[in-house]
Structure 1
């Protein structure tokens, strides 16, 4: 006979669930997708089909057009060299964003959307609109290259990148849950944009100056300043994250300030880059380095805030009988999460490891759902999601742990994994 979770004890941080789900395999309308409500109406299925169909069509057309433009301007050889060298910057920035996003990982489909929006939509739009802006300033007898880099590019490029973050904020609103999410989504959009822009600059430098030119641009853009674009757009993502739980028009000025900050930092960077070599390095030391330090501090602070939210809400669930103290300690520590997955694989193979990973991810989603509920989010999906996730985390536990007391299960998860000394 399956063991039922202990009834709530009245802990004020976690009100008693309206429906206490039984231990066992998920069933009913929430069995479809990791605790998320399944599509039970044709309208919701059609809406999802239209959204993703539109996104795939948009990315396909912009990708085709961008490929033609880049190949025509730089040539196949220079484009391939630019692609290979620009990929190194991806290997620097993307792991940092994934590190920040470890505890409450964002869905891969939305991360790919963010990257492709920046790489395809934002880049192609910027190429077109920047040319128009440069032509406008050329008619005013102003150096079009200087005006384009300093006045046109910061506004246009940040507007197109921030638009992608804003689309995620509204369309995938239930996956945009705070500052960390805002930083990660904005960073992925900016990484995609910088990736294609680097290919264009690297390929152009190779055509004009050969290998030395390629190497020089690689040092400047991929090694010295790989975080430039992510830091600019992160201002807007940070601002959206600040209002993720307060989606009211009276807070609209916060994202507006974030956009202005992104444009201003982009302006400073471009102005220094086109002024002189000495001016660039001076701006790099006095502006870019402190900005990067501040960016890192914000990432660390945001990670700690997310950890605090997880610990607070999962402890509340633990006091109501859903998690043991050892499980809570494991769930709020990336290191202990890794050890728990290794333990599960050792005792139950790949399927048990998958169940442990799902248990960890769904526990994080459960804490986010509770955070929405306690902040008074009127969307009824959070109540439904909480009930479904309470059910599925119990079922996941049964997949990687033998039928015994929860305390004994947790002790195995935490203490049977060998400690590294």
Structure 2
């Protein structure tokens, strides 16, 4: 027990100082400001091509698919939701940085190829070859950056799909403004504009997210694999698949007329889209299995109460828990429970990655930080005793009936006393750590 208390003391000493906390706040703000600057540049470039009226109409219509697309990826990400500021950064990167770079590079390549090969052949190569290579590179760069610089937030394939999808949704938003606005400026009757809106916002709102998700899957495989150069080959492999799908999609609109587009849509895009849905659902079930397998060990270690295992083992149980707490005690207590649930999931995923050997030399540091957050989150929830009891008494996952042999968890240590925690589950982490 003395080792456990020593470990908790060390964790407390490692908590961020006010200076470090200011840096944690200032850093994301600076990044978002820079990304927003690129968004303004991208909008300025679009406006120079289509005019203010086209930009306004294009932006209004381009917003239509954004909500459903983003909501779909947030649904995939429900077991371990990614930090909102990172998801916002992903969308802004796609809408600003990626779109700005792609517009410039595609335009330059189009001018050079038109001069060299002629307008028809040069335009085809630009659309079917250059654009997919450039656009999938600038979109995928954010996903790879997350894997490199935010490795702890990147657990596997689900995170890769989510970050790729949100980034691509931002890119598609800006691109839709450009295409819709340009067609509006050139279209006298409005029929062509309506056709573009239907094709891009109704029939293919997931096109860009689907392409970039291939790079995200590659990054997710690399994140979940044992450290080594071989795992990182999944990223360029995913990028190549993304480029091929994107190139085939772009070429179908130019070659073969409407028949080519319909054929590629039905034979390639729809099956790939369905496969991505199946993969995402399978990954969600896999994440649930990881959490369920880890919870008994957490209870033996004293990190959670045994009676909480049932509530933490399913999304429905967690949702009912939070809803019951909100009705009984308000949103502040609900937020304490939500933070506690997220900390449990984070620890479960981390220990699963450690067991696979995919964390490396940062394992000890990350485990210390995750344990500190878990203990802190539970103490905050224990500070509101109803947060840990009301769900099982009012509308829990068994219709309000507590699990067999259930007893309410203790209300926490008395004033002036320390919280008691049992030994770690056997296996991970090594006994040399300050928690064994």
**Both proteins in one fold, TM over 0.5:** yes
Cα-to-partner distance string for 1:311-353 (whole Å, 9 max, x where unaligned): 1112321344433455233223222222111111122122211
Q: 1:343 to 1:49 in 2, by over 3 A?
A: closer
Match status 1:167 vs 2:151? no
Supply the distance in 2 between the matched residues of 1:111 and 1:214 (Cα, whole angstroms): 31
Q: Secondary structure at the match of 1:88?
A: coil
Residue aligning to 1:11: none
Q: Secondary structure at the match of 1:269?
A: helix
Supply the distance in 2 between the matched residues of 1:67 and 1:416 (Cα, whole angstroms): 48
Is the Cα–Cα contact under 8 Å of residues 340 and 374 in structure 2 kept in the other structure? no
Match status 1:373 vs 2:357? no
Q: 1:227 aligns with which of 196, 199, 206?
A: 206
Supply the distance in 1 between the matched residues of 2:395 and 2:296 (Cα, whole angstroms): 16
Q: Secondary structure at the match of 2:116?
A: coil
Paired residue total: 392
Q: Secondary structure at the match of 2:117?
A: coil
Q: 1:236 aligns with which of 215, 223, 239?
A: 215
Cα-to-partner distance string for 1:178-230 (whole Å, 9 max, x where unaligned): 11111100111111101110111111111112532222111101110111111
Residue aligning to 2:241: 261
Cα-to-partner distance string for 1:344-387 (whole Å, 9 max, x where unaligned): 11221222111111121111112123223323432032221233
Instruction: Measure how far apart 1:73 and its partner are.
Output: 1.4
Q: 1:332 to 1:416 in 2, by over 3 A?
A: closer
Is the Cα–Cα contact under 8 Å of residues 161 and 189 in structure 1 kept in the other structure? yes
Residue aligning to 1:212: 191
Cα-to-partner distance string for 1:96-145 (whole Å, 9 max, x where unaligned): 10100111000011101111111101000000000121122123224222
Q: 2:331 aligns with which of 326, 338, 350?
A: 350
Q: 1:279 aligns with which of 244, 260, 264?
A: 260
Supply the distance in 1 between the matched residues of 2:373 and 2:305 (Cα, whole angstroms): 16
Q: Name structure 1 gaps, 5 residues minimum.
A: 1-6, 8-16, 32-36
Is the Cα–Cα contact under 8 Å of residues 178 and 241 in structure 1 kept in the other structure? yes
Is the Cα–Cα contact under 8 Å of residues 299 and 306 in structure 2 kept in the other structure? yes
Match status 1:199 vs 2:177? yes
Instruction: Measure how far apart 1:159 and its partner are.
Output: 0.5
Tell me which of the two structures has the higher relative contact order, counting C-alpha pairs closer than 8 angstroms and 6 or more residues apart.
1
Supply the distance in 2 between the matched residues of 1:339 and 1:174 (Cα, whole angstroms): 29
Is the Cα–Cα contact under 8 Å of residues 35 and 89 in structure 2 kept in the other structure? no
Q: 1:93 to 1:293 in 2, by over 3 A?
A: same
Match status 1:179 vs 2:168? no
Instruction: Measure how far apart 1:277 and its partner are.
Output: 1.1
RMSD of aligned alpha carbons? 2.8
Q: Secondary structure at the match of 1:389?
A: helix
Cα-to-partner distance string for 1:242-280 (whole Å, 9 max, x where unaligned): 121434323221111011111011011011111111110
Q: 1:415 to 1:51 in 2, by over 3 A?
A: closer
Match status 1:188 vs 2:166? yes
TM-score normalized by structure 2? 0.82
